[in-house]
Amino acid sequence: MPVSVDDRCLRLTGEGGDAGVLLGMRCSGCGVVVFGPATFCQSCTAPDLAEVELGAAGVLYSYTIVRVPPAGWPGAVPYVLGEVELPEGPHVLAEVIDCEHGDLTIGMPVSLALQAVAMDGGAETERVVYKWRPA
């Protein structure tokens, strides 16, 4: 059974680990939506937040090529770290896959891509992570 890398950010919706939705929190006071868990609104500080499912499509807001990865990074290097803007408002940082670096353009449409990654080499450490790929 596949396991989400963080079930506060990514809810798996299928048995295969290749379907899921990103999760955010919407402020009941001002309507601002943020990605992932929050205990109060970052915009108006209201404590009244409700979980929302976010869409699987966004646009590339910014990106960088990472040549020195964080400790324990399980993937190939260099890789593209993309900041993706969702229609609901939040920006979500994740690797952009299946794209030549030269083909990246700001504003390009991207869609959510889920991948199972062995965090520590062994199959028992496998977690489903979220990435972006050109739409």
Binding site for Zn ion (CB under 5 A): 27, 29-30, 32, 41, 43-44, 46
What is the DSSP annotation of 54-113? PPSEEEEEEEEEESSPPTT--S-SSEEEEEEE-TTS-EEEEEE-S--GGG--TT-EEEEE
Q: To the nearest whole angstrom, how small is the minimum distance from the Cβ of residue 28 to Zn ion?
A: 8
For 107, half-sphere exposure in the C-beta direction (CA atoms, 13 angstrom radius) is 0
Q: To the nearest whole angstrom, how small is the minimum distance from the Cβ of residue 38 to Zn ion?
A: 10
| Nearer of residues 48 and 98 to Zn ion, judged by Cβ | 48
| Nearer of residues 43 and 115 to Zn ion, judged by Cβ | 43
Q: To the nearest whole angstrom, how small is the minimum distance from the Cβ of residue 24 to Zn ion?
A: 13
| Nearer of residues 41 and 56 to Zn ion, judged by Cβ | 41
